[in-house]
Amino acid sequence: MSAIRVDAKVVMLGKESVGKTSLVERYVHHRFLVGPYQNTIGAAFVAKPIQVGEKVVTLGIWDTAGSERYEAMSRIYYRGARAAIVCYDLTDSSSFQRARFWVKELQNCEEHCKIYLCGTKSDLIEGDRSLRQIDYHDAQDFADEIGALHFETSSKTGNNVDELFHKVAEDYNNTAFQYMTEETGVDLGQKKDSCFYSCCHNN
């Protein structure tokens, strides 16, 4: 008997250079790309199937540009998303303020979108704790306030990356049939393949 297949649209949001693309690269391709980096322009797409029990959940992941000048364009990509991974850099306090902005946007525009708060570059603070600019408990308190799960990750070491995306898939799997009764289907917004599709993407 073949596995039941369900699709979930996931959007990556956060300030530029927080490491959204690196997070997706680590999860999908199991690699860490060493710089110099070019910022994403527009968005990039990748579809990743995950076995969850008897179902295959395909995460359609939209990696959006973090620059404020592409803000309006990002709204196009998170429309209809069932999950959002809102990223901030553990060594950059301004990125946490930007994460708050994206959470507010999602709450206003996509009330059914489940939010996951993700601190990135944990390897840097493990090497030098003085680099940490966002206290773990402050971030956790914010996550509790908005009903989000909170992860601290490292794309370099892989710490908590698989756990984050698997949790997204598991949570969606638990509610997928509820969504299916509300709508005719979930549009990932792009063809379902295992490779990055570039939409004005420079990486």
Alpha helices, H only, 64-150: 71-78, 93-109, 122-127, 136-146
What tens digit of pLDDT does each residue of 55-72 get? 899 999 999 876 665 566
For residue 2, what are the CA distances in angstroms to 5, 54, 56, 112, 146? 9, 9, 10, 29, 37
Question: For residue 34, what pLDDT band results from cuts at 50, 70 and 90?
Answer: confident
Can you give the pLDDT at residue 33? 84
Please check the confidence at residue 200 and state whether its pLDDT lies above 70.
Answer: no
Please check the confidence at residue 203 and state whether its pLDDT lies above 50.
Answer: no
User: Taking the model in full, what pTM does it have?
Assistant: 0.85
Please check the confidence at residue 8 and state whether its pLDDT lies above 70.
Answer: yes
Map out the domains of the chain as residue ranges: 4-199
Question: For residue 81, what pLDDT band results from cuts at 50, 70 and 90?
Answer: very high
Q: Is the peptide bond before 36 cis (omega within 30 degrees of 0)?
A: yes
Q: What is the mean pLDDT of residues 164-188?
A: 73
* Four-way CATH pick for 4-199: 3.40.50.300, 3.40.50.1970, 1.10.3720.10, 3.40.50.1100: 3.40.50.300
Which of 73-77, 151-155, 199-203 tops mean pLDDT? 151-155
Alpha-carbon dihedral sign for residues 34, 73, 94, 27: negative
Can you give the pLDDT at residue 128? 97
